[in-house]
Amino acid sequence: MTFWLSLPIKNKIMKIIILNLIGLCMAYSAMSQVHIESGGNIFVTGTSNGVSNTTPELYSEIPVINYGTITNNGEIQYGDSVVNNGTYTSTGDDVFVAGTTPNNAVVGNFKGANDMYNVIVNAGSANFLFVHDTLEVDERLVFESGTVLSISDVYVKNSAVNAIQGASLSGGSDKYISGSLERDVSIATNYSMPVGDVNHGNQSFNILFNNTGGGNKISASYDDALAGSATKAACQDTNAFNVQSGTWTITSNGVNSNYDYDITLIPAGANTSLLAASLYDAFVKDGQFIGNPCANTLGNYSATGLISFSQFNIVGGNNAVLPITLKVFKVYKTASTDVIEWTTDAEVNNKLFSIERSLDGIEFTEIGVVQSKALNGNSNHTLDYRFIDQNPQQGYNYYRLKQVDFDEKSTLSNVKYVFWDDLKVVQVYPNPASEFIKIDWSSKNNSDLKVKLSDMRGRIIQHVQFKSKTGMNSLKLKTHDLPSGIYFVQVYENNRLIKSEKVRKQD
């Protein structure tokens, strides 16, 4: 076993304690992160067997940020996030375990020559491995416990059927991918694709290629937010197919019309409640029924001989009315805020939407309410909604919609999220103000700061310029002699507006 470490370390970033535990392990103490600068190297050799071990060659329970070189020919266990802005070479086991924080994150360049080899998820059944940027896996993706939550792609570059191991059965609450999964494929092999979402767990499907259309990989995801009304077909008088289980979106890099594949969707767990009490089931591809929906056997979610890729749904002959049909739900960042937008195609008895946010993907709290635009809560046409989170937090910000009926029944949307890795946090308070307005601002480096206080006519009442320091900065604007009314506080960093807030002055 060989372990070699060369770390040009930033001053006051960390101290290192080396412990001997059967093999050679490394623990870190009294620091917030391991920072490997350009020119620094970590080289690990040992045993690689595709499973997590109790004595890895290297273990870190705090974030690892790499600008140098990490070479893993043994087993590295990450108990927190790993960020690669340098070179990462692996022919070993890259293991993600539960550390001092419940969730792990993969950020930066882990594709091409910087891909991981065996990625092993052992984060705990209630925890996540967050994939912020594309993660490429050269050999195997192994689930032991935990869920992969991806806002980019997880790409398994191995066409062997066992390149993905340990995924839960459909309906399982962990050991699947919430987000986009890509994998290499070949002819005459039956592949399982463990994709789902955090509300419904694993909603996997199986696919077998008779002809790949000249392609060599597929990409798949499951999104409950696309569920809603489907193409209707009358069966036994007025019975119609009007409840979807969600949407499987599947694409390939081959050529449409040249494909020949068989597919079986496997809805399970909470998802199947949407199909309860159905007289019939139907398999929908791009909004069109496959075969005769009125003759389809309950629970038959298979189709053969398909020649193109698209979106798939399962619908049931349940005449229950959905409170809303959510057509679009998306979240994106601006310079300093998160924007939540959604669109409904139809609303029935809908009172309002509660916007909920979480910083760990588990515990959600309400941050705002948007009333329904539908007249008396009912609409059969498109309605657009928007909410702005003025105070996103550093790291992951998770959002979901809670739709509330007039009878106080509620339903939850899928979860969307964004990641802030360099957030300038600015707080303006108190509001309303009397004697003063205080601005607190956090910065990672020194910068030029300007603060303007203006009235409703745009006249600048106060203008302050100063050089901020790394860390927390504070400034007070005196307001005791200003007349009551509405004022605006604008904060600029290096001539870029990072905060604008309306403040009421009262006596």
Weakest-pLDDT range from 318-332, 334-348, 427-441, 484-498: 318-332
In angstroms, the CA 215 to CA 226 distance is 27
Q: Is 240 part of a structural domain of the chain?
A: yes
The CATH number linked to 402 is 2.60.40.10
CB 74 within 8 A of CB 58: yes
pLDDT tens digits along 292-335: 666 666 667 888 999 988 888 877 654 445 567 788 899 998 87
Share of the chain above pLDDT 70, in %: 80
Binning pLDDT at 50, 70 and 90, where does residue 7 land?
very low
Identify the pLDDT of residue 145. Answer: 94
Asked whether the predicted pLDDT for residue 348 surpasses 90, the reply is: no
Residues 293 and 416 in one domain: no
Asked whether the predicted pLDDT for residue 18 surpasses 50, the reply is: no
Residue that terminates a domain, selected from 370, 398, 420: 420
Weakest-pLDDT range from 130-134, 141-145, 421-425, 478-482: 421-425
- Residue 451 has, within 13 A of its CA and on its CB side, a CA count of 22
Residues 372 and 483 in one domain: no
Residues 62 and 16 in one domain: yes
What's the DSSP call for residue 210? Answer: E
Q: Is 496 part of a structural domain of the chain?
A: yes
Q: For the whole model, what pTM was predicted?
A: 0.62
Q: What is the mean pLDDT of residues 24-37?
A: 54
Binning pLDDT at 50, 70 and 90, where does residue 339 land?
very high
Residue 406 tokens read as: 């007039």
CB 186 within 8 A of CB 218: no
Binning pLDDT at 50, 70 and 90, where does residue 507 land?
confident
Weakest-pLDDT range from 41-50, 210-219, 220-229, 461-470: 220-229
In angstroms, the CA 282 to CA 250 distance is 18
Binning pLDDT at 50, 70 and 90, where does residue 192 land?
very high
What's the DSSP call for residue 379? Answer: B
Residues 211 and 314 in one domain: yes
Residues 200 and 270 in one domain: yes
Mean pLDDT of the chain: 81
Q: HEC profile for 259-317?
A: EEEEEEECCCHHHHHHHCCCCCEEEEECCEECCCHHHCCCCCCEEEEECCCCEEEEEEC
Identify the pLDDT of residue 11. Answer: 31
Q: Which has more pLDDT, 236 or 115?
A: 115
Q: Is 184 part of a structural domain of the chain?
A: no
Identify the pLDDT of residue 137. Answer: 97
Residue range of the domain that includes 42? 1-157
Q: Is 170 part of a structural domain of the chain?
A: no
Identify the pLDDT of residue 78. Answer: 93
Q: Is 162 part of a structural domain of the chain?
A: no
Residue that terminates a domain, selected from 382, 403, 420: 420
Weakest-pLDDT range from 27-31, 357-361, 391-395: 27-31
Q: How far is CA 504 from CA 20, 454, 484, in A?
A: 61, 12, 7
Residues 13 and 113 in one domain: yes
Residues 309 and 338 in one domain: no
Q: Is 121 part of a structural domain of the chain?
A: yes
Identify the pLDDT of residue 496. Answer: 66
Binning pLDDT at 50, 70 and 90, where does residue 271 land?
low
Residue that terminates a domain, selected from 293, 320, 347: 320
pLDDT tens digits along 126-184: 888 989 889 999 999 999 999 999 888 999 999 999 999 999 988 888 999 999 999 99
- Residue 301 has, within 13 A of its CA and on its CB side, a CA count of 21
The highest-confidence range among 51-55, 159-163, 323-327, 436-440, by mean pLDDT, is 159-163
Q: How many domains does the chain have?
A: 4
Residues 298 and 355 in one domain: no
pLDDT tens digits along 380-406: 889 999 999 988 876 778 899 999 989
The highest-confidence range among 408-412, 452-456, 480-484, by mean pLDDT, is 480-484
Asked whether the predicted pLDDT for residue 4 surpasses 60, the reply is: no
Asked whether the predicted pLDDT for residue 39 surpasses 50, the reply is: yes
Weakest-pLDDT range from 17-21, 72-76, 116-120, 268-272: 17-21
The CATH number linked to 446 is 2.60.40.2550
Residues 334 and 216 in one domain: no
In angstroms, the CA 30 to CA 13 distance is 9
Residues 411 and 464 in one domain: no
Q: How far is CA 41 from CA 37, 114, 174, in A?
A: 9, 15, 35
pLDDT tens digits along 202-261: 999 999 999 999 999 999 999 876 555 444 554 543 444 545 567 899 999 988 778 999
DSSP lists the bridge partners of residue 52 as none
Asked whether the predicted pLDDT for residue 16 surpasses 80, the reply is: no
Residues 266 and 228 in one domain: yes
Phi first, then psi, for residue 11 (nearest 5°) are -55, 135
Q: Is 165 part of a structural domain of the chain?
A: no
What's the DSSP call for residue 322? Answer: P
The identity of residue 223, as a single letter, is: D
Q: Is 180 part of a structural domain of the chain?
A: no
Residues 312 and 345 in one domain: no
Identify the pLDDT of residue 235. Answer: 54
